[in-house]
């Protein structure tokens, strides 16, 4: 457990901040578009005092930005699928590169196991997913095992990562 961070069902608490800053953060986590006036009404501060506190948390890096939360599964004709890929050790980096560059891949992680990758991908339909999986299996050398699973529902978290920077997926050795 991280003593400096307590995450409850719909809120979190950073022990290094006071109760008001924590309340402001939780309000912004629930609605990043909430006005300073509305936040002030809820925490008992003026609009200017809230603005100053938010600006201080932005300067310190506690608040890194404000983003839309995208759920591609709600888009018409979009399906999400998870791929488990195992490769020969000598082909692992090439396989990883192919998935990083594939427009279907939104997230890729390296996990424990024999050169194992897990990719979260998007496709307009099952036929296109099947074509992508088959193309990868036929054209990427060294794949020893590959399987794909349709995502029925996201129970916790999101499909699109907070920082959708594909370069972050590339190992420092590459």
List the domain range (segments joined by +) for residue 52: 5-60
Please give the average per-residue pLDDT across 43-63, as a whole number.
95
Structurally, the chain folds into a number of domains equal to 2
Please give the average per-residue pLDDT across 12-26, as a whole number.
90
**Does residue 25 lie within any of the structural domains?**
yes
| Same domain for 121 and 99 | yes
Tell me how far apart the alpha carbons of residues 146 and 86 are, in angstroms, rounded to a whole number: 6
Q: Are strands 105-111 and 116-123 parallel, antiparallel or unpaired?
A: antiparallel
**Residue of higher predicted confidence among 120 and 161:** 120
**Does residue 65 lie within any of the structural domains?**
no
| Same domain for 165 and 95 | yes
Of the CA atoms within 13 Å of residue 90, those in its CB half-sphere come to 2
**Does residue 174 lie within any of the structural domains?**
no
| Same domain for 151 and 80 | yes
pLDDT at 8: 46
Q: How far is the CA of 136 from the CAs of 4, 27, 71, 92, 148, in angstroms?
A: 43, 44, 25, 13, 12
| Same domain for 138 and 85 | yes
CATH of residue 17's domain is 1.10.10.10
pLDDT tens-digit profile of 128-169? 999 999 999 999 989 999 999 988 888 887 777 655 443 333
Of 92, 76, 114, whose CA–CA distance to 170 is shortest? 92
Q: Confidence band (pLDDT; 50, 70, 90) for 77?
A: confident
**Does residue 101 lie within any of the structural domains?**
yes
Please give the average per-residue pLDDT across 43-64, as a whole number.
95
CATH of residue 151's domain is 3.30.70.920
Lowest pLDDT segment from 40-44, 83-87, 163-167: 163-167
pTM of the model: 0.57
**Does residue 66 lie within any of the structural domains?**
no
pLDDT at 73 over 80: no
pLDDT at 174: 33
| Same domain for 163 and 92 | yes
| Same domain for 78 and 41 | no
């Amino acid at each position: 457990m991280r003593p400096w961070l307590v995450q409850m069902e719909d809120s979190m608490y950073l022990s290094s901040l006071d109760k008001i800053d924590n309340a402001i953060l939780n309000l912004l986590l629930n609605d990043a578009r909430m006005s300073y006036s509305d936040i002030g009404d809820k925490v008992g501060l003026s609009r200017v005092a809230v603005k100053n506190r938010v600006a201080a948390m932005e300067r310190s890096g506690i608040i890194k930005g404000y983003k839309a939360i995208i759920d591609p599964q709600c888009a018409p004709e979009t399906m999400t699928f998870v791929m488990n890929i195992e490769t020969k050790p000598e082909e692992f980096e090439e396989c990883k590169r192919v998935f990083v560059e594939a427009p279907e891949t939104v997230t890729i992680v390296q996990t424990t196991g024999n050169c194992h990758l897990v990719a979260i991908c998007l496709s307009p339909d099952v036929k296109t997913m099947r074509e992508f999986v088959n193309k990868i299996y036929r054209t990427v050398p060294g794949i020893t095992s590959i399987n794909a699973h349709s995502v029925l529902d996201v129970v916790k978290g999101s499909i699109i990562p907070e920082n959708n920077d594909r370069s972050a997926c590339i190992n420092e050795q590459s």
